[in-house]
Amino acid sequence: MIEVRDLVYEYPNKRALDGVSLTVAPQSITALVGPNGAGKTTLLRCLAALEPPYAGSVTIDGLDTRESPRQIHERLGYLPDFYGLYDELSVRRVLTYAAWSHGLAPALAGAAVEKAASRVGLADRLDSKAGELSRGLRQRLAIGQAIVHEPKVVLLDEPAAGLDPQARRDLSSLLLQLRDAGMTLVVSSHILAELEDYCSTMIIVDDGRVVGGKPIKVRDDERPRYMLELATARSDLRQFLVAAGIDVIETGDHHALFTFTRNPSARAKLIRDLVKAGFDVSSFAETTRALEETYFAQVKAS
């Protein structure tokens, strides 16, 4: 859905992106991570056809950003890190304007507005003025603006900034819903924990380049990562797991990190086999720290 080839972007005194290449698969959620000033926002703006490449190319849904920026904008939803809303308009009018300005026919706009408002949890506030909403609700409205026209690609720059824990959880489930509805999402953040719940792929940007040279798969819904912990140290843990045909990522005497099927029967069998082999299993759970571990592993390796 998104193809970036040898992208170079320059500011007057600095090359902000230097030979970035990446591919984002359709119907996926990709995390764009890196330290402040790494080039994440610049990359997102290039993807959004808001900044023309100095060299290289960016294609979205087969369209080149330099040649067809407006056609791309029609297919795109973008939430900038610092966004504004039309405070004097009602939520309904803000969303209606967003729908119309993205080419939605007036006859379809009403239903699209209702759907977007419902998705972001603002269905009961359609007649409130945008300026009267709380920060969290404004963030939802801004996301609603970005998705009201059912874009193929959604780019979100720091979408969870300033949200409370409940709102962050709601955001996670909304993004998963959007992916399941067929959208391709790229989410930029420097807070890895907030990306953990929904991202399947990670792109690390540092000093204008993609660390590792390509996106990294951090989550496989069919084969998630599991952390096994032992109460008693066993040096043969790795050997046992490899012999059982398991893809081991990392082991120690007290623990192992590996990918394994989500199938409950298979997991139950593995635990039985471990116990039968005398391993003192104290914990066996799907790990939720894959993104952060992968990030630091990649940064360290580079």
Partner 1 sequence: MNPEFRRNVWLELTPRRLMTMTAVLVLAFFAAAVSGNEWLPLSAATTLFYFIVVFWGARNAALSVVGEIRERTWDFQRLSALGAGEMTWGKLFGATIFNWYGGAICLVVILGYRIAHDGAIAGLISLVYFVVIGLIAQSVALLSSLIAAMRRQRHTQLEVFSYQVLGIVAAFLAYSVWKIADPAGAIGVRLKAAADTIPWWGQDLNARAFLLTSLAVFAGWTLVGCYRAMRLELKMLNGPFVWLSFLIFMGIYVAGFDAWLPKSDAISVRDAVALRLALAGTTFAIITYIMVLLEPKDRVLYRWMGAELAQGHLGRIAWAMQGWMMSCKAAFIIGIALIVWLVHEDAAPAAAFVGAALGFLLRDVGIFVLLQALPGPRRGDFAAVVTLFALYVLAPAIANGFGASQSLVIFYPQLTTPVWTSPAVAWAEALIIVVLTVSRIAGSVRRPSAAAAV
Contact residues toward partner 1 (CB under 8 A) are 10-15, 18, 48-52, 54-55, 65-66, 69-71, 73-74, 76, 78, 80, 82-89, 93, 97-98, 100-103, 145, 206-213, 302
**Least distance from partner 1 to the Cβ atom of residue 177, Å:** 22
**In this structure, which amino acid lies at residue 298?**
Q
Phi-psi region of 103 (alpha: psi -120 to 50; beta: other; left: phi over 0): left
**Least distance from partner 1 to the Cβ atom of residue 107, Å:** 13
Is residue 162 within 8 A of residue 135, CB to CB? The reply is yes
Task: Give the residue with the Cβ less far from partner 1, 19 or 136.
Answer: 19
**Least distance from partner 1 to the Cβ atom of residue 1, Å:** 17
Residue 293: half-sphere exposure toward Cβ, Cα within 13 Å: 13
**Least distance from partner 1 to the Cβ atom of residue 135, Å:** 14
Task: Give the residue with the Cβ less far from partner 1, 213 or 278.
Answer: 213
Task: Give the residue with the Cβ less far from partner 1, 13 or 36.
Answer: 13
**Least distance from partner 1 to the Cβ atom of residue 10, Å:** 5
Task: Give the residue with the Cβ less far from partner 1, 207 or 229.
Answer: 207
Task: Give the residue with the Cβ less far from partner 1, 1 or 109.
Answer: 109
8-state DSSP, 158: S
Is residue 237 within 8 A of residue 291, CB to CB? The reply is no
Residue 186 neighbours by CB under 8 Å, 6+ apart: 2, 24, 29, 30, 32, 44, 47, 153, 154, 155, 156
Give the pairing of strands 14-24 and 184-188: unpaired
Task: Give the residue with the Cβ less far from partner 1, 103 or 162.
Answer: 103
**Least distance from partner 1 to the Cβ atom of residue 192, Å:** 19
Spatial distance between the Cα atoms of 53 and 80, rounded to a whole number of angstroms: 19
**Least distance from partner 1 to the Cβ atom of residue 55, Å:** 8
Distances (CA, A) of 111 to 19, 90, 148, 206: 42, 16, 10, 42
Task: Give the residue with the Cβ less far from partner 1, 75 or 234.
Answer: 75
67: tokens are: 């040649």
Spatial distance between the Cα atoms of 225 and 291, rounded to a whole number of angstroms: 11
Reduce the DSSP state of residue 54 to 3 states and report it. coil
